[in-house]
Amino acid sequence: MTIATPSRLLAEQQRAFERDGYLCPVPALTPDEVQRHLARYTDYVARNKARLDALAPSQKFQVFSETHFVMPWVHEIVTHPRVLDAVESLLGPNLLAWNTNWFSKMPGEKTFVSWHQDGTYWNLTPPNVVTAWVALTPCDATNGCMRVIPGTHTRPAMPQRETYNPDNALSRGQEIAAKVDESQAVDLRLAPGEMSLHHIWIVHGSNANTGAVPRIGLAIRYVRPEVVQDSPAKPMAILVRGQDKHGNFELLPPPRPRGDGAGDTAAEHAAIVERIRAGILKK
């Protein structure tokens, strides 16, 4: 029987993740931390409003991806001990934070995420990759919480096509090109400060926000250092726990205190987004 510290996963939670390909909910941030980060997120969106208003959901990655490399407060979420303890329970003691994405859906927006498998286009092997999806607002079926099809991470990969639907939050509108049995779907309901964890190969997606409450969360992709990406340029990451003896990723330092992804760090942010996307978009 595993002795769990407050934020390490219990043996039965680890088994559930291995069996189902996800775990939900897992406590992460305190109410104070949620409030602080939500204020910063709101401020970041307000400062980028003109840019965002001109972009389709599928193009917003330019603003919402890889902010952990340039914004100290996002790096704070990515290195939060409760988040890392849970991820360490699944991936082991050496952890890299490779990619992050803010997924926000405001009431009335048409933005959705089609059924997809991340493993199809991330080009990462072996699949020692876990996403922590950290909620800053309540997430449920009415405002378009994430949905998963349990157990699909253990089945053969499904065919996927690119639709370029502009309302799809995924940059190429990638969707599974086969019947997904939605009767098996599980809603990942989260309270603010809770997170879900999901496997790189689980079938997942989310509907539009038809409720009255914004749905805002940060998806953080953690990898073990031995993971290799088939990529035109070495992918970037931040070492967040343990050590990296493999050198498969270019390790960047934690962001500077003044970095906010705008102003002095805008060019740096854009270059990192471009580099990470080059690895993801590769066929």
Ligand X SMILES: O=C(O)CCC(=O)C(=O)O
Binding site for ligand X (CB under 6 A): 103, 113, 118, 131, 133, 146, 204, 206, 219
Nearer to ligand X, 9 or 203 (CB): 203
Minimum distance from residue 142 beta carbon to ligand X (Å) = 14
**Smallest distance, Å, CB 206 to ligand X?**
3
Q: Tokens at residue 82, please?
A: 């409760």
Alpha carbon distance 201, 127 (integer Å) = 8
| CB of 76 vs ligand X, minimal distance in Å | 19
Q: What is the largest CA-CA distance in the chain?
A: 54
- 96 or 146: whose CB is closer to ligand X? 146
Closer residue to ligand X (CB): 24 or 260: 24
178 vs 271 by CB, closer to ligand X: 178
| Least CB distance to ligand X at residue 283 (A) | 19
- Least Cβ distance, residue 60 to ligand X (angstroms): 12
Query: Is the CB of 145 or the CB of 236 nearer to ligand X?
Result: 145
Residue closer to ligand X (CB basis): 131 or 248? 131
CB 59 within 8 A of CB 70: no
Taking the C-alpha atoms of residue 168 and residue 283, their distance in angstroms, rounded to an integer, is: 20
Q: Is 213 helix (H, G, I), strand (E, B) or coil?
A: coil
Could you tell me which of 40, 10, 34, 13 has the C-alpha nearest to residue 24?
13
Handedness of CA 232, 76, 86, 202 (dihedral sign): negative
The DSSP string of 201-234 is: TSEEEE----SSS-EEEEEEEEE-TT-EE--SSP
- Minimum CB separation of residue 67 from ligand X in Å reads 14
